[in-house]
Amino acid sequence: MPRTEEQYKEIRNEKKKLITNVALKLFANEGYTRTSINQIAKEANISKGLLYNYFQSKEELLKHILNALGEEFSEFIDPNKDDVVTEQEAFNYIDITFEMLKNQRESLKYYYQLAFQPEVMEILSNPNVIREDIIKQEYLLLDFLAAKQPNVNPKIVVTNIISFMKGFSMMYVYSPETYTDEFLEEYKIYLKEFIAK
């Protein structure tokens, strides 16, 4: 008697998660092209064939990973979506962002390490893996912040914030040993004050 559909689904999800996890780490640390299907299979203790039972191709596996990461992040930033940003929402955004930095540290690290690989960038430029909602959210925030410093070229303000954020998370990701949780807290406060000025 065969297993129930439920049981099969369970098995599939379990294995898919396993493969995804192993592949993410390898893709991020060794590079997508340099990571072989063999390596992934060995690390996950499965056969090459099985991997292709779950993912049509190496690229499909990568896309799945990128989408999953996107999902993971988007759960963090999903406010009321009314297209308007109040000061409170701005602070919330900061909070949430730092929360994410803290709690999703590993995922974020992998995402960054992945996202800058040319092979991956090519795929990320494909619209069906872009997280439109996240990007929009960020633009609303930037408009809000620019409006708060009317005497400065808004482009400069926006650039400041984005540079801060980008550079900060970059460093956070690439030299995690110097970015402790306490420092994150201190930095968050500083950043809010700087914005509120």
Partner DNA sequence: AATGAATGAGGTTTCATTCAT
Partner DNA sequence: TATGAATGAAACCTCATTCAT
- Binding stretches for DNA (CB under 7 A): 1-3, 5, 7-8, 11-12, 15, 34-38, 46-50, 52-53, 56-59
Q: Are 54 and 19 in contact (CB under 8 A)?
A: yes
- Judged by CB under 8 A, the residue of 52, 73, 144, 187 near a copy of itself is 187
CB of 114 to DNA, least distance (A): 15
Structure tokens at 33: 């092209």
Which residues between 73 and 102 bind a copy of itself (CB under 8 A)?
Answer: none
Nearer to a copy of itself, 31 or 70 (CB): 31
HSE of 164, CA atoms in CB hemisphere, 13 A = 17
Residue type, 45: N
CA pair distance 121, 164, nearest whole angstrom: 22
Q: Which one of 4-12, 72-80, 140-148, 160-168 is the stretch in contact with a copy of itself (CB under 8 A)?
A: 160-168
Q: Return the sign of the alpha-carbon dihedral for residues 102, 103, 106, 107.
A: negative
**Who contacts 180 (Cβ-Cβ below 8 Å, separation ≥6)?**
none
DSSP symbol at 78? -
The contact pattern for a copy of itself, residues 16-55, with x = CB under 8 A and - = no contact, is ------------xxxx-xx------------x--------
Per partner kind, with CB cut-offs from 5 to 8 A, the member of DNA, a copy of itself, none near residue 152 is a copy of itself
- Judged by CB under 8 A, the residue of 20, 97, 113, 137 near a copy of itself is 113
DSSP symbol at 41? H
